[in-house]
């Protein structure tokens, strides 16, 4: 069985939904995971912000704009009146629900309920569209099987048992349509896999049903060698190993949710990235094979906080690092980059929720300096640390103010920490040198 995931742009217009229908109508059973229509989750996040800030009129007006967008879509997409009526009723229910929440006091649960509506809407609309077009498709409600545990990790036992149960219970179909992103938490409340989480839904399902392949269909022809939003002349990479893709996704390549590769890597289930608007393009195949060495791609992750911790005594003083790490452990804050000198240690975190408490605890035995608004620029490729040209990188970067470098932590990754204002320039410089053979080195 195949799992195919279509992102926001792919279900964001009638034309693109038609492309999706043509892609999935072929032979074989498949599970199709859909995101919300493009812009919808952002709009829902804004609505929940409006509620949080007591901006009731703004919330109602934003709800109405989103309502109109969905009505216009079904008007164009559905021409059978009973189907249009049924989907219209569902859309009304969802938007009545949203309006009824405007006076409620804000909570995380309310946020989760609000942002989940985007995927519920897109899958309801799209599955009815497939029925109209004569395809044998059924809705597979993600909330009947997708659950995370107390650590936020997929509860594979629960998902396995319930996904198979739900498939057995509903009428057999060629195509099962389900919601990406949304899930239940360990207490059975509605939750989600964080922004961009539909990719993760697809690979979790792929691993649980032992899919032949997971396909991620998006608005670009595969994984590019740099962020196309920041750098010109990027191109799609035809093959990536699981390790390379995992590093790039973790370090900010927006095309994949950071955890996407995890569920399928251990089962060797390939992931193929494809372009819904250009299905004939090769795209990117991610599997366990290794193709070539040297720097293959560059990605960047923003909003990083760097913490310099200077030992009041010598760093060598035994137990110092242990004490530092225990504090991060206590606040469940993971560390991305780390460098040490004789008297100080610098490290980065991307979740600064507990920064204040962490700093207070560190200050009990060390001097602490914080730099916010940093970016990690990450260069990835098989064995790049051994590649003959890699050392020249540091000359290329002579004009960039680098706060930290991590080299050798893994053979496949070199990470640079720069101020967010320098990120685009750094990406461009490294790109020209590595991929366009521009000799910046004198």
Q: Which residues bind ligand ADP (CB under 6 A)?
A: 7-10, 35, 196, 218-220, 223-224, 227-229, 253-255, 299
* Binding partner at 101 among ligand ADP, ligand ASP, Mg ion, none, C-beta below 5 to 8 Å by kind: none
Which secondary structure element, helix H or strand E, spans residue 182, and what is its range? strand 182-184
For residue 406, the cross-strand partners are: 415
Q: Which residue, 12 or 381, has its beta carbon nearer to ligand ASP? A: 12
**Residues 9-38 close enough to bind ligand ASP by CB under 6 A:** 35-36
Asked if residues 24 and 6 have their Cβ atoms less than 8 Å apart, the reply is: no
Q: Where does this chain touch ligand ASP (CB under 6 A) — which range of 167-175, 191-199, 331-339, 407-415?
A: 191-199
Question: HEC states along 402-432?
Answer: EEEEEEEEECCEEEEEEEHHHHHHHHHHHHH
The correct pick among 95, 145, 181, 435 for binding ligand ASP (CB under 6 A) is: 181
Residue 199 Cβ vs ligand ADP, minimum distance, rounded to whole Å: 6
**Residues 118-137 close enough to bind ligand ASP by CB under 6 A:** 118
Q: Which residue, 77 or 220, has its beta carbon nearer to ligand ADP? A: 220
How far, in Å, CA of 270 to CA of 266, rounded? 11
Residue 29 in tokens:
């059973």
* Binding partner at 227 among ligand ASP, ligand ADP, Mg ion, none, C-beta below 5 to 8 Å by kind: ligand ADP
How far, in Å, CA of 137 to CA of 302, rounded? 40
How far, in Å, CA of 33 to CA of 28, rounded? 16
How far, in Å, CA of 73 to CA of 76, rounded? 5
Pairing label, strands 190-192, 402-410 = unpaired
* Binding partner at 197 among ligand ADP, Mg ion, ligand ASP, none, C-beta below 5 to 8 Å by kind: ligand ASP
The correct pick among 180, 206, 263, 381 for binding ligand ASP (CB under 6 A) is: 180
Q: Which residue, 48 or 201, has its beta carbon nearer to ligand ADP? A: 201
Residue 186 Cβ vs ligand ADP, minimum distance, rounded to whole Å: 26
Nearest to 377 by CA among 319, 258, 297: 297
Q: Which residue, 229 or 398, has its beta carbon nearer to ligand ADP? A: 229
| Exposed e or buried b per residue across 94-110, where buried means at least 16 C-beta atoms within 10 angstroms of its C-beta | bbeebeebbeeebeeee
How far, in Å, CA of 68 to CA of 372, rounded? 40
E-strand ranges in 271-296 read 271-275, 284-287
The correct pick among 12, 118, 154, 196 for binding Mg ion (CB under 5 A) is: 196
Asked if residues 305 and 368 have their Cβ atoms less than 8 Å apart, the reply is: no
Task: Confirm or reject binding of residue 327 to ligand ASP (CB under 6 A).
Answer: no
Task: Confirm or reject binding of residue 198 to ligand ASP (CB under 6 A).
Answer: yes
Residue 153 in tokens:
């990790």
The correct pick among 196, 206, 252, 263 for binding ligand ASP (CB under 6 A) is: 196
**Residues 3-62 close enough to bind Mg ion by CB under 5 A:** 7
Residue 198 Cβ vs ligand ASP, minimum distance, rounded to whole Å: 3
Residue 437 in tokens:
């053979």
Q: Where does this chain touch ligand ASP (CB under 6 A) — which range of 72-80, 192-200, 228-236, 412-420?
A: 192-200
Interface residues toward ligand ASP, by CB under 6 A? 7-8, 35-36, 41, 118, 180-181, 195-198
Interface residues toward Mg ion, by CB under 5 A? 7, 196
């Amino acid at each position: 069985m195949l799992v195919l995931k279509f992102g926001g742009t792919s279900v964001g217009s009638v034309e693109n939904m038609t492309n999706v229908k043509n892609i999935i109508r072929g032979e074989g059973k498949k599970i199709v995971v859909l995101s919300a229509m493009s812009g919808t989750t952002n709009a829902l996040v804004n609505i929940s912000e409006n509620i949080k800030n007591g901006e009731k009129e703004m919330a109602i007006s934003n709800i109405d704009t989103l309502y109109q967008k969905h009505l216009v879509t079904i008007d164009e997409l559905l021409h059978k009146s009973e189907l249009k009526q049924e989907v219209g009723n569902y859309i009304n229910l969802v938007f009545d629900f949203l309006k009824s929440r405007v006076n409620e006091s804000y909570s995380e649960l309310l946020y989760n309920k609000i942002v989940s509506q985007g995927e519920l809407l897109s899958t309801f609309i799209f599955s009815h569209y497939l029925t109209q077009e004569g395809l044998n498709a059924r809705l597979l409600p993600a909330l009947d099987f997708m659950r995370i545990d107390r650590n936020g990790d997929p509860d594979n036992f629960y998902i396995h048992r319930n996904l198979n149960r739900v498939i057995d219970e509903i009428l057999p179909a060629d195509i099962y349509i389900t919601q990406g992103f949304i899930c239940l938490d360990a207490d059975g409340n509605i939750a989600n896999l964080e922004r961009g989480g539909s990719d993760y839904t697809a690979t979790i399902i792929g691993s649980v049903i032992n899919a032949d392949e997971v396909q991620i269909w998006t608005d670009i022809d595969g994984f590019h060698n740099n962020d196309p939003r920041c750098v010109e002349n990027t191109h799609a990479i035809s093959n990536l190993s699981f390790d390379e893709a995992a590093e790039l996704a973790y370090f900010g390549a927006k095309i994949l949710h950071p955890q996407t590769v995890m569920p399928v890597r251990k089962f060797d289930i390939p992931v193929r990235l494809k372009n819904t608007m250009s299905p004939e393009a090769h795209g990117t195949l991610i599997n366990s094979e290794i193709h070539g060495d040297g720097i293959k791609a560059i990605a960047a992750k923003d909003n990083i906080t760097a913490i310099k911790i200077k030992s009041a005594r010598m760093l060598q003083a035994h137990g110092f690092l242990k004490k530092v790490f225990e504090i991060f452990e206590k606040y469940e804050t993971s560390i991305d980059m780390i460098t040490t000198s004789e008297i100080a240690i610098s490290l980065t975190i991307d979740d600064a929720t507990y920064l204040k408490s962490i700093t207070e605890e560190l200050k009990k035995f060390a001097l602490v300096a914080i730099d916010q608004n940093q970016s990690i620029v990450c260069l990835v490729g098989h064995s790049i640390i051994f590649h003959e040209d890699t050392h020249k990188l540091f000359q290329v970067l002579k004009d960039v103010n680098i706060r930290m470098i991590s080299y050798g932590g893994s053979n496949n990754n070199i990470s640079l920490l720069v101020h967010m204002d320098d990120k685009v320039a750094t990406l461009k410089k490294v790109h020209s040198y590595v991929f366009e053979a521009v000799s910046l080195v004198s």
